[in-house]
Amino acid sequence: MSCSHAHNQPNNPHDAGPPLWLLAELTYRCPLQCPYCSNPLDFAQTERELTTEEWVSVLRQGRKMGAAQLGFSGGEPLVRQDLVELIAEARNLGYYTNLITSGLGLTEAKVDAFAEAGLDHIQVSFQASDPELNNAVAGSRKAFDQKLAMARAVKEAGYPMVLNFVIHRHNIHQMNDIMSLCERLGADYVELATCQYYGWAFENREGLMPSKARLVQAELEVNQYRQRLQESGSAMKLIFVTPDYYEERPKACMNGWGNLFLTVAPDGTALPCHSARLLPIDFPNVRDMDLQGIWYDSPGFNHYRGDSWMPEPCRSCDEKEKDFGGCRCQAYLLTGNADNADPVCNKSSYHDRILAARKAADHATAGLTGLVYRNADNSRLFFRG
């Protein structure tokens, strides 16, 4: 994740600003099984979820520290029975709130209840432009129709219709169909996010990564569609997010470690990003420590602040204040050591691993059946219902 107002990371943690963005991963439970989910592979083994009171306390502490944006995500946050209560509390505290949902488990009555409780924004994710592919990727037979109905319900309740599609080799040929579906639905914002490889997506990378040629074609199609929208006076906005694996310089992941973002996982583990629990670092838990102490004083959050931890080539790189050496989780997944420069960077001695992944993507032919679906059994494709 990146955002436009990057600022330098201080070496002294107490010079850091507050966590402006708080992500509340309310649960790892989810009715869908998308093989690109960024949740940890062992999500089913995590401790019990935070209670309503514990979440309320996290929200209060975050707001007191200066957090302004709050995302409710998961898993599927709708499986939490206390969602309306948490939204109402967040609104009272003055957060700008965003619900990130698959739409499964949503009803018109719930959309109304969320609006009444003060929810600011809802984003509904889709897997493809047609029911067959959508449901096969989601691992659920009823997902597509439900998503269509809920996208409409969100708009009818007065929210902008914000749709998200994760793009990979099995749906990248559908770009025009996806954009046309969104237009027919009356979407306001469409995020076409090419898959990033963390969690389950890393596990399935070979089966998900599109070829460079397909990616270039997809970007062209988005640009042409955007042009057509502009000419026809449509207000629908298309946001195309390109994948790290086809870049030569890394992103300033999370805008810098412990800089703006604070994620609280379902079991209360506090993390500088949604993937960090895979790192061999001891992260604090909101059950043991207050958010202030976690943010400013915990070894986990201070681990990659500033630049004194950086080895070469980052240490002497004149771009280190721009990208902070890239993504720690990607460095760990690809090199086994999170201190290394993100191998996306062509100055990294591990950049050949990115090149090898690109080459493999050029030659990949496997279908959906080779993917490991996100569920407690790491099972291959099956439908739950």
3-state secondary structure of 330: helix
Binding map of ligand FES across residues 315-334, x = CB under 6 A, - = no contact: ------------xxx-----
How far is the CA of 215 from the CAs of 327, 337, 362, in angstroms? 22, 29, 11
Which 211-270 residues touch ligand FES, going by CB under 6 A? Answer: 253-254
Q: Between residues 215 and 253, which has the closer beta carbon with respect to ligand FES?
A: 253
Please work out the total of residues on this chain that contact ligand FES, with binding judged by CB under 6 A: 9
Q: Tell me: does residue 174 bind ligand FES (CB under 6 A).
A: no
Is 34 marked within a binding site?
yes
Part in contact with ligand FES (CB under 6 A); list of ranges 69-77, 140-148, 218-226, 273-281 = 273-281
Q: Which residues contact 188 (CB under 8 A, 6 or more apart)?
A: 155, 160, 161, 162, 235, 236, 237
User: Which burial class, exposed, middle or buried, applies to 364 when counting CB atoms under 10 A from its CB (0-12, 13-18, 19+)?
Assistant: middle
Angle at 27 between CA 256 and CA 117, to 5 degrees: 90
Q: Between residues 104 and 334, which has the closer beta carbon with respect to ligand FES?
A: 334
**Can you read off the two tokens belonging to residue 254?**
């999370």
Minimum CB–partner distance for residue 11 and ligand FES (Å): 18
Is 195 marked within a binding site?
no
Q: Tell me: does residue 273 bind ligand FES (CB under 6 A).
A: yes
How far apart are alpha carbons 133 and 302 in whole angstroms? 43
How far apart are alpha carbons 25 and 263 in whole angstroms? 7
Binding map of ligand FES across residues 76-115, x = CB under 6 A, - = no contact: ----------------------------------------
Q: Between residues 41 and 56, which has the closer beta carbon with respect to ligand FES?
A: 41
Q: Tell me: does residue 298 bind ligand FES (CB under 6 A).
A: no
Binding map of ligand FES across residues 190-209, x = CB under 6 A, - = no contact: --------x-----------
Measured in whole angstroms, how far is the alpha carbon of residue 201 from the centre of its chain?
11
How far is the CA of 104 from the CAs of 33, 143, 154, 344, 381, in angstroms? 12, 7, 13, 35, 19
Minimum CB–partner distance for residue 253 and ligand FES (Å): 3
* Among 276, 281, 286, 371, contact with ligand FES (rule: CB under 6 A): 276
Minimum CB–partner distance for residue 259 and ligand FES (Å): 11
How far apart are alpha carbons 71 and 41 in whole angstroms? 22
Strand partners, 240: 192
Contact 35, 208 (CB under 8 A): yes
Minimum CB–partner distance for residue 239 and ligand FES (Å): 19
Q: Give contact residues for ligand FES (rule: CB under 6 A).
A: 198, 253-254, 273, 275-276, 327-329
